[in-house]
Amino acid sequence: MKNYLYHIKLFFYRFFILILLFSISRFLFFLFNISYFEGIGFPAFLKIHLAGIRFDLSALFYFNIVFILLSLIPGNFKNSKYYQKILFVFFFIVNALLLATNYTDTKFFDFEHKRLTYDFFSSVWLGEDFITLLPEFLKDYWYLILIWISMCFGMYKFYPKVNLRKISRDTFRIKELMSQVIVFIILMGIGLVFGRGGFQLKPLRVIHAADYTSAKNIPLVLNTPFTIMKTIGAKAFTPVHYFDASTLDSIYSPLYTSTNQEKRNSNVVVIILESFSKEYIGYYHNGYGYTPFLDSLIDKSLVFNNAFANGKRSIEALPSIMASLPALTDESYITSTFGPNKINSVATALKNYHYNTSFFHGGKNGTMGFDTFAKVAGFEKYYGLNEYPKREDYDGNWGIYDEEYLQYFCNTISEFNEPFFSSVFTLTSHHPYEVPAKYKNKFPKGNLKIHESIGYTDFSLKQFFDTAKKTDWYYNTLFIITADHTAQAESPYYKSKLGNYAVPIIFYHPTDSSLIGTSDIIAQQSDIYPTILDYLGIQDTIVCFGNSLLSEERNHFSVNYINGIYQLIKKDTLLQFDGNNVLAVFDLKKDSLLNNNQIKNTDFKNIEAFLKAFIQSYEERLSKNNLTKIQN
């Protein structure tokens, strides 16, 4: 029994090293993203970290289950140096990989502001795009690789080895086996409790991190192996049920019909700008920004000052913009089991009115499932890198530089019969934010790496409009400009859970003076689809989770979801909800930085009921494949 107790002690030393390494990785995650987590002092971080250890233990238990079993199994064969070498191999390889995900996330967090989940490893990410971009990430974040190597070396160096002098030479007796088995069962039982996160009814989940901190700081509580583990095999879900059918429809219904009877036969062009946070646009900040052309265009447009994205990833933007399907689940709609379902979209609606429909993206065909989604959404034609004629314009990372691709887009749609609906998705303002060599030092570099590429994309947009003005179709076209999501941020507002979703939504028509001015209503990407139908005077009834922005009487709001938290922006209120309970309520007029939770001082029952009805309606229709209800 003495030998067995020695190996138990050895195991705990080894496991303590893992907890220490995970603690270091969380501290570094905090330091590298301190601008996002600003306002958290050391006492608050320590409290968050102690809560995070609960999630660390869960991930470490399940991922190290083989190592744990081999370490604690009864028997003196564990004394063998060969057995101990095998044990070390399991220990080192598994935990080096776990640490790698934590350190990878240290910078990937900058893009999505959430911990990586299992869909990162889907074909969307581990396809050709990922392999192509890997050298760029290695070049930009080489210091993280050095840190990871250092941590792995420390794990190797301080791994406690068996001390033969402390091992008893007594012959193993069968009667000891029963005692060891009992201790083994007790230890594995304790381990299982740590693995499931405690004695609560359901095992520890990502959403439980909200018990310890605000929604914004949830990623700091979590660790990446845990979020990956909890999203492995995530498939269809059971829709929530807050209300009966009649009550549900009385609170919220996604059925939408335009009331505009003025028919227009206008072309429609939707331009989706990669990573174009509202923060970069000078119009919103007294001219201080990186978008002189867009600023000038906004002066002749209808612009929404309170516009928000429905997600934090490009793959989440397309369903929101084209089909009014906001990103309300952990897995993106495109890669989920619902991806092939039949849906409404701008393309399906306009095809019924003899519109030519097309989608353009200068990235590789298959990138983020855009080509597949375009087919599901009813686009007649998809144009990707394969269709682009001049490969010398390839940027070496994502696809074709914006200037050349927008010219190609303009020239191609000029060959279409009118009316047409077409959309283009830019890409140069995506990491690694490289601009063409001929434009080096032409655009302001600003304080963030993305700023120079924003200036380049704005310039490319100007070149596009200069060319478009010479075409026959230009003066009969509604242009809609928005962004897929936000990216790096400087100011506190754009780092908050409100500003983190702030994007431009701009409507421009060269000959329609009704589309000039500003609006302060709450706008979201999911509003673009119904707004197009409203503008064109198409009165079909559709399923959509937004409203026309051309009607101020409509019930305007914005919804997004991340890290298990739903966020509703409605009028002057922001409400955060975990699916069961309201976590926070903020008064946006007085507190745009979301510093003062007013949950104890606010009557939020109506807005909470609205969000619940919205979620229930969304999930029920998603699970029942009931997202198409067009009446011609």
Domain ranges of the chain: 2-231, 260-548
283-298: per-residue pLDDT in tens?
999 999 999 999 999 9
User: Alpha-carbon distance 432 to 164, whole Å?
Assistant: 52
Predicted pLDDT of residue 124: 45
Query: Buried b vs exposed e over 69-92: b needs ≥16 C-beta within 10 Å?
Result: ebbbebebebbeeeebeebbebbe
Positions of E strands within 339-490: 356-361, 381-383, 420-425, 477-483
Q: Closest Cα to residue 242, out of 561, 568, 603, 613? A: 613
* Joined tokens for residue 488: 């790096």
Predicted pLDDT of residue 316: 93
**Section 561-577 average pLDDT:** 94
**Section 394-400 average pLDDT:** 89
- Place 139 in a pLDDT band, splitting at 50, 70 and 90: confident
Phi and psi torsions of 631, nearest 5°: -115, 115
- Of the listed ranges 47-61, 303-317, 358-372, 477-491, the least confidently predicted one is 358-372
Predicted pLDDT of residue 3: 79
**Residue of 554 and 68 predicted with greater confidence:** 68
208-226: per-residue pLDDT in tens?
887 788 878 889 999 999 9
428-461: per-residue pLDDT in tens?
999 889 999 999 999 999 999 999 999 999 999 9
Answer whether 302's CB lies under 8 Å from 286's CB. no
Which residues are registered as beta bridge partners of 481? 271, 506
Predicted pLDDT of residue 208: 84
Among the ranges 98-112, 172-186, 256-270, which has the highest mean pLDDT value?
A: 256-270
- Place 422 in a pLDDT band, splitting at 50, 70 and 90: very high
165-218: per-residue pLDDT in tens?
666 655 556 677 788 888 999 999 999 999 999 887 778 888 788 778 887 888
pTM score, whole prediction: 0.83
User: Alpha-carbon distance 169 to 177, whole Å?
Assistant: 16
Mean per-residue pLDDT over the chain, rounded:
91
Domain 260-548 bears CATH identifier 3.90.1280.10: no
- Of the listed ranges 13-27, 264-278, 333-347, 571-585, the least confidently predicted one is 333-347
**Section 36-62 average pLDDT:** 92
- DSSP-derived letter for residue 471 is S
Predicted pLDDT of residue 631: 45
